[in-house]
Structure 1
Amino acid sequence: MARQLRAEQTRATIITAAADLFDRHGYESTSLSDIVEHAQVTKGALYFHFAAKEDLADAIMELQSRAWRAVVAETDGRGHSSLEALIRITFGIARLSVEDPVPRAGLRLAAGQVEVRPPLTHPFTEWRDVAARKLNGAAREGDVHQDIDVEAAAHALVSWFVGARVVGRSLEPVARQPRRVAEMWHVMIRGLVPVPRRPRYLTLATRLEREIRPV
């Protein structure tokens, strides 16, 4: 039992070290030797858990997928309106990126660093599907205009969210991401939401940003 626990701890240490390096330096620029040094483990320990760097990337993206699905499940269980749930989900993903290098690296990997291999589903496809489902619900609830193209809006939302992080990686710290998500919503709410319902959601976006903002 103790040996199994140590093995699990070593695996987690390796994944975290790899995620930190993938996020800071990129997948191609990070070697297995770099990961061994950063994790302070032996090469034997690394190869015991991961046969290749691609396997580490898969493990990181799988953990990212689990984490974001947990955000969706937790949000769905709270009985929010569809639009509020969608806004909260995007800020939940932003919080993961700010606080944890594994989801942060998973986002960078998914944004063109590596191929997403089966049985994993590309996270952006999942995010777009959830966004479309929530926007359809919001249209039924009267929180977005009835004539919006839901698929186009969902695609634009995911593209904006991911693009803000891709651009921001070179220009600003990751702690800035909640501000960019709030900016995204302040623009999208004005385009999607009928005027009488806008104040509720604009206020929500501002409040959620403040909850993540570092002290």
Structure 2
Amino acid sequence: MVRQQRAVRSRDAIVRAAAHVIDRYGLKAATISKVSAEAGLSKGAVYFHFADKDALASALESEAARALEELAAARAREGGPALTAMVETTRELAGLLSRDVVVRAGFQVSCDRAEGGVPVLRRRLTALLLGLLEDARRDGSLAPGVAVEDVVAAVLAVTVGVQILSRQPDAAVEVSGALERFWHAALPRLIH
């Protein structure tokens, strides 16, 4: 039992260290050596948990995907107008990107690994937003005639901006302000 707990702590420390390294240097420049140094563990300990850098990147992407799914589940439990749920989801995601290095690095990894395609996490976020907007259309909180695809495109663009801003030191206030200005401008046209 103690050995298992130590292994879980080591794995978590490695994932967090990898997130810091990728957040600082990017995926291409991140190395197992940098991760092991950041974690304060040997390279062997890193390789015990992860076969290679790609497996470590997958773990970060999975952690960010899990966080996104938790946001969606929280909104579903709360009920209320779907348009409000979409706004709150974007606020929570912006907060996570600002304060949680693992989520931020997971989104960065997703972008870096896309190699010109659509990043996995962006596809998941798109599906979540489309679902919330279709729910908003059904529950009557979305104004008639609003093009759902246009709203999703705008929200994704803002999210990418938030992701970039969140990598700057002490960016939480700036990120929150930018998102609030976007919603202040956009919501009057969306609300029914």
**TM-score, structure 1 as length reference:** 0.80
Consecutive unaligned residues in structure 1, runs of 5 or more: 195-215
Which of the residues 136, 139, 143 maps onto 2:134? 136
Distance 1:88 1:56 in 2: 30
- 1:68-79 correspondence to structure 2 within 5 Å: 68-79=68-79
Distance 2:5 2:167 in 1: 38
Distance 1:88 1:169 in 2: 18
- Which residue number in structure 1 is paired with residue 91 of structure 2? 91
User: Does 1:174 pair with 2:171?
Assistant: yes
- Alpha-carbon shift at residue 63 of structure 1 (Å): 0.7
RMSD: 1.9
Is the Cα–Cα contact under 8 Å of residues 75 and 85 in structure 1 kept in the other structure? yes
Q: Compared with structure 1, are the counterparts of its residues 171 and 61 closer, same or farther at alpha carbon in structure 2 (3 Å cutoff)?
A: closer
Distance 2:166 2:93 in 1: 16
- Alpha-carbon shift at residue 163 of structure 1 (Å): 2.7
- Which residue number in structure 1 is paired with residue 151 of structure 2? 153
- Which residue number in structure 1 is paired with residue 20 of structure 2? 20
Is the Cα–Cα contact under 8 Å of residues 129 and 154 in structure 1 kept in the other structure? no
Q: Compared with structure 1, are the counterparts of its residues 146 and 74 closer, same or farther at alpha carbon in structure 2 (3 Å cutoff)?
A: same
Distance 2:4 2:163 in 1: 37
- Alpha-carbon shift at residue 98 of structure 1 (Å): 2.3
Q: Compared with structure 1, are the counterparts of its residues 172 and 180 closer, same or farther at alpha carbon in structure 2 (3 Å cutoff)?
A: farther
Is the Cα–Cα contact under 8 Å of residues 94 and 159 in structure 2 kept in the other structure? no
Matching residue's letter, 1:141: D
- Alpha-carbon shift at residue 25 of structure 1 (Å): 1.8
Matching residue's letter, 2:113: V
Distance 1:51 1:65 in 2: 21
Matching residue's letter, 1:130: L
Distance 2:21 2:150 in 1: 34
Distance 2:104 2:171 in 1: 9
Distance 1:145 1:172 in 2: 38
- Alpha-carbon shift at residue 9 of structure 1 (Å): 0.6
Distance 1:44 1:171 in 2: 32
Q: Compared with structure 1, are the counterparts of its residues 68 and 193 closer, same or farther at alpha carbon in structure 2 (3 Å cutoff)?
A: same
Q: Count matched residues.
A: 188
- Which residue number in structure 1 is paired with residue 103 of structure 2? 103
Q: Compared with structure 1, are the counterparts of its residues 40 and 127 closer, same or farther at alpha carbon in structure 2 (3 Å cutoff)?
A: same
**Larger relative contact order (Cα-Cα within 8 Å, sequence gap ≥ 6):** 2
Is the Cα–Cα contact under 8 Å of residues 16 and 101 in structure 1 kept in the other structure? yes
> Structure 1 segments of 4 or more deviating over 4 A?
169-172
Consecutive unaligned residues in structure 2, runs of 5 or more: none
Distance 1:92 1:169 in 2: 13
Render the CA deviation track for 1:63-116: whole Å, top value 9, x for unaligned: 1111111111012101121011111111111222222110011122223x1249
